[in-house]
Structure 1
Amino acid sequence: MPGFVRLLCFCTSFAALPFGGSLRLAVSIFLSGVMMCFATALSAQTHRPVLMISIDGLRPDYVTRADQHGLKIPNLRRILAEGAHAEGVVNVSPTVTYPNHTTLVTGVLPSEHGIYNNELFDPEGKEHGGWYWYAQAVQAPTLWQAAKDAGLVTASVYWPVTVKASGIDYNIPEYFRQRTQPDRYMEEAVSRPAGMLEELEQKAGPFNIRNSDAVFDETVTRTTIAMIESRHPDFLTVHIVSLDHVEHEHGPFSPEANADLEKIDEMVGRIAIAQRKVHPNGVIAVVSDHGFSAVRHRVYLNSALVKEGFISLSGHEKATVDRWSVFAWPAGGTAMMMLRDKGDAETEKKVQILLAKLAADPRYGIAEIVSHEKAVQQGMNPDVAFVVNFKPGYRMAVGFAEPELEDLTKDEGTHGYMNTLDEMHSSFFVEGPGVAKGKNLGVIDMRQIAPTIAGLLGAKLDTAKSPRLSLQ
């Protein structure tokens, strides 16, 4: 390329010589052509198509220690062997799906991108279980927009927080209400461009989220392959969900979870084959949002708040919140304690005393009461008063059940603890041209993934300040 630069310098100087207008015009036209060729060559050098597959709830040791768990996952193991991988990814707190999926595509903390949990803060139930579905809530630039600005074609299948997302040319967002038949029609309505999902369904089958999780992942897989074959996106994100659901029900590394991951591995293989046919020079990255921990105890913190008078309920068959001064916003292994009036120092002090009392009782399984200052430093919701971080084996339960504690007869699973727990670390596996074979990246920060992907795409994501990973 230095020779190309010397040629440009020569042509520029030549064009400035005092020749006649016709000659100068000819040289200028020649120079413009040279510069266009240079720009094309530079783009070809810096742009690699990227497919990023998120397997929700995938701990890295499912893949790095597959033999230990008796897992038959040849496609994920091939990506591990042929490319680079992280021993673990330190994600963001709380370690739940939506904040972390947003960090994966922005490279910044929740306090910067604005997605603090899966479900909206809704103590009185007015949102009827609404989640952070809408991209208008995202306050930071995304990889899709960066890729779009670089002149690339972008697409996404079932990625969280993408309803009406800018920068995505072909978008099937994660969206659901009741997981019944009408949800399919809503999915068709919110996908963009209008009519695209219905067209893909002619080949891939109905995008029906009322199916079982494993069947739905198959739907996502078929739809993704149809998207690749028909739209040829340069940057494509895909979200596979069933492993998370099975782990919640049976725990990580349970026979059920292992069997589900083996099915997912086959799906990843089929998606990868389709991608390689369209983009043989592309990069494939497999990521996840969080790890998982086995659970045997549920803790109903809001029941304790009801007992102490911080919450009053109405209704008989189904209790709902009538009034509240403090509410525990559940996030699995943590609970974010929210004050109705942030300036209510008296209530804040009373809650602090109550939480200290509960933490001193080992039955509640509380590992730490995280202060407001520490939570903000971690990039969590700036309005939180305290965060209750549970020990592994315990989780915050939704509802106002009595008693406040419930022991389970079999393992379940959860996540959502603070990101300091190693079991919560997520995954990053990447392979393709320009990626070193068998490279161990060690433990990385999730915020490094977005700028690394941007670099592969030849795009700019200047708001993501963390250093790119060295993949070579």
Structure 2
Amino acid sequence: MGSGSVLTSTKPTQIPTQEDPPSPSTSLLSFNTDSATDPSNPHHKNTTNSIIFISLVLVTCIALSAASAFAFLFFSSSSLPLPLFGYQFKTPAPNIHRLIANGTEAETGLIPVFPTLTFPNHYSIVTGLYPAYHGIINNHFADPKTGELFTMASHEPKWWLGEPLWETVAKQGLKASTYFWPGSEVHKGSWTCPQRFYSEIPVFMTLYFEDPDHQGHKVGPDDPEITEAVAGIDRMIGKLIDGLEQRGVFEDVTIIMVGDHGMVGTCDKKLIFLDDLAPWIDISTEWVQSYTPLLAIRPPPGLAPSAVVAKMNEGLQSGKVQNGKNLKIYLKEELPSRLHYTESDRIPPIIGMVDEGFKVEQKRTNRQECGGAHGYDNAVFSMRTIFIGHGPQFARGRKVPSFENVQIYNLVTSILNIQGAPNNGSVSFPSTVLLPNPS
């Protein structure tokens, strides 16, 4: 899926560009964006015969509770120990660590886009676009003009803007293959794979494992069920490596292993109830498009969003609302610019950002819940995930600073030596991570 059809409610916006190269700093705020390609340049690069396999393991970050023996502390001093951020450190994962030892790793993690949710980040990884530009601004949202609802079962091309990597590869006359990746689904019907497809080897493939995200939402990131899921993922990575080695191509194939977001433990004591704001303003359930961790509100016509924001913040800061100071309400245009979460009509006018580990609900219930969540500010360290690159252009045992996942699109097009579509990544970023292209 891609840019073939656009919803009428989606305001066309120019993809922002910036000429400065990306900073090597690990700070989220220091990462610049520029367009990866000049759309006026008709010349394509000569392609290589590289094969890239991207695997995405969901939720590779660990959020350790205050009662745990460890804590997330991020220090800028290089003399202090690095923070623990990945599931790969919680249980033996020999195959994943083999890729790390013989490849390149983002030492303090890969930075997801905001909101740190599944579908927005999946599609940012393969388009190089922030959600405001690729259109998937949440896992669930409504079109403000037609009232149509997007869910994780919505496969119509009109929702999915931008150009994903498999389309970019195909436009070069090369073969691409994708499995279980949001934005790539089609209605297949009754269909038998022709024999000729079995012998065609794509130059680009994607694969997505839903574990351990599935378990993390139920039991939180520190449960033994999570470590079991990670061990299972490691075994599958081992099968992939074994298969490539048996065919004598392991060192020639590029493997990029990434996650889409982290996860933090949540419990009932960290709740904020919108009904507690009733003395200041009644927030109707019909206004709320999503509750937590990203609170998204679209008030009815005739009610100024600015007035709603003012009343909500007044109540939250009054000291009379349970955990009120852990939720901040913004007009979307007043969100921190580093979030890149303004330039789309699909984004509701009012956005609430809740502190790490807190949740927003409409009203109090007797339901008891302790699990895991993500979707928080992408500056929160527990939202980080992994980046591991292994192959001819990744140096062995190299550590690189953290970077945002919108840079991955240009990384892949650079390895394949093909022309990419305009995007929010930096055209110069690949040279900071990759070895020179051998071709």
Whether these two folds match at TM > 0.5 is: yes
- Higher mean alpha-carbon deviation, 155-164 vs 457-466, is at 457-466
Mark the CA change 1:357 to 1:246 in structure 2 (over 3 Å): closer, same or farther: same
Residue 460 (structure 1) aligned with residue 419 (structure 2)? yes
Say which of 210, 227, 248 aligns to 2:217. 248
> Does the CA contact (< 8 Å) of 1:106 and 1:142 recur in 2?
yes
Equivalent in the alignment of 2:405: 446
> Does the CA contact (< 8 Å) of 2:124 and 2:131 recur in 1?
yes
Counterpart CA distance in 2 for 1:303 and 1:97 is: 28
Equivalent in the alignment of 1:419: 378
SS in structure 2 of the partner of residue 387 of structure 1: strand
Q: Which has the higher contact order (CA 8 A, sep 6+)?
A: 2
Displacement of 1:421: 0.7
TM-score (structure 2 length as normaliser): 0.71
SS in structure 1 of the partner of residue 352 of structure 2: strand
Matches for 1:298-337 after TM superposition, within 5 Å: 299=271, 303=275, 308-311=281-284, 324=286, 326-330=287-291, 332-337=292-297
> Does the CA contact (< 8 Å) of 1:106 and 1:141 recur in 2?
yes
Give the aligned residue type for 1:78. R
Say which of 173, 191, 195 aligns to 2:192. 195
Matches for 1:271-420 after TM superposition, within 5 Å: 271-275=240-244, 277=247, 279-280=249-250, 281-297=252-268, 299=271, 303=275, 308-311=281-284, 324=286, 326-330=287-291, 332-341=292-301, 344-345=303-304, 348-359=306-317, 360=319, 361-364=321-324, 366-375=326-335, 377=337, 378-380=339-341, 382=344, 383-397=347-361, 400=362, 402-403=363-364, 408=369, 411-420=370-379
Displacement of 1:304: 5.5
Mark the CA change 1:458 to 1:93 in structure 2 (over 3 Å): closer, same or farther: same
Give % identity.
22
> Does the CA contact (< 8 Å) of 1:98 and 1:118 recur in 2?
yes
Displacement of 1:143: 0.9
Compute the RMSD of aligned alpha carbons.
3.4
Give the aligned residue type for 1:149. K
Displacement of 1:384: 2.6
> Does the CA contact (< 8 Å) of 1:303 and 1:404 recur in 2?
no
Deviations 1:341-368 (A, max 9, x none): 3x632x5413431243135435346243
Structure richer in helix, relative to its length:
1
Mark the CA change 1:356 to 1:239 in structure 2 (over 3 Å): closer, same or farther: farther
Deviations 1:207-233 (A, max 9, x none): xxxxxxxxxxxxxxxxxxxx9x65422
Mark the CA change 1:292 to 1:443 in structure 2 (over 3 Å): closer, same or farther: same
TM-score (structure 1 length as normaliser): 0.66
> Does the CA contact (< 8 Å) of 1:284 and 1:430 recur in 2?
yes
Displacement of 1:194: 3.6
Equivalent in the alignment of 1:143: 165
Give the aligned residue type for 2:103. G
Give the aligned residue type for 1:414. A
Equivalent in the alignment of 1:176: none
Residue 55 (structure 1) aligned with residue 76 (structure 2)? no
User: Which runs of 5 or more residues in structure 1 are unaligned?
Assistant: 1-40, 165-189, 201-226, 312-320
Deviations 1:246-283 (A, max 9, x none): 11111113211111100111012213333453854210
Deviations 1:163-221 (A, max 9, x none): 34xxxxxxxxxxxxxxxxxxxxxxxxx2499433xx89xxxxxxxxxxxxxxxxxxxxx
Give the aligned residue type for 1:453. V
Mark the CA change 1:424 to 1:128 in structure 2 (over 3 Å): closer, same or farther: closer
Give the aligned residue type for 1:368. K
Displacement of 1:83: 0.4
SS in structure 1 of the partner of residue 59 of structure 2: coil
Matches for 1:209-220 after TM superposition, within 5 Å: none
SS in structure 2 of the partner of residue 336 of structure 1: strand
Displacement of 1:374: 3.6
Residue 471 (structure 1) aligned with residue 437 (structure 2)? no
Mark the CA change 1:42 to 1:130 in structure 2 (over 3 Å): closer, same or farther: closer
SS in structure 1 of the partner of residue 414 of structure 2: helix
SS in structure 2 of the partner of residue 455 of structure 1: helix
Deviations 1:377-408 (A, max 9, x none): 322254432321112221234xx5x4279764
Counterpart CA distance in 2 for 1:338 and 1:278 is: 56
Deviations 1:413-468 (A, max 9, x none): 00000111111112211101121001111111211111001111222114124233
Equivalent in the alignment of 2:180: 158
Equivalent in the alignment of 1:3: none
User: Which runs of 5 or more residues in structure 2 are unaligned?
Assistant: 1-44, 63-82
Counterpart CA distance in 2 for 1:130 and 1:92 is: 18
Counterpart CA distance in 1 for 2:233 and 2:365 is: 37
Mark the CA change 1:133 to 1:289 in structure 2 (over 3 Å): closer, same or farther: farther
Larger Rg: 1
Give the aligned residue type for 1:103. S
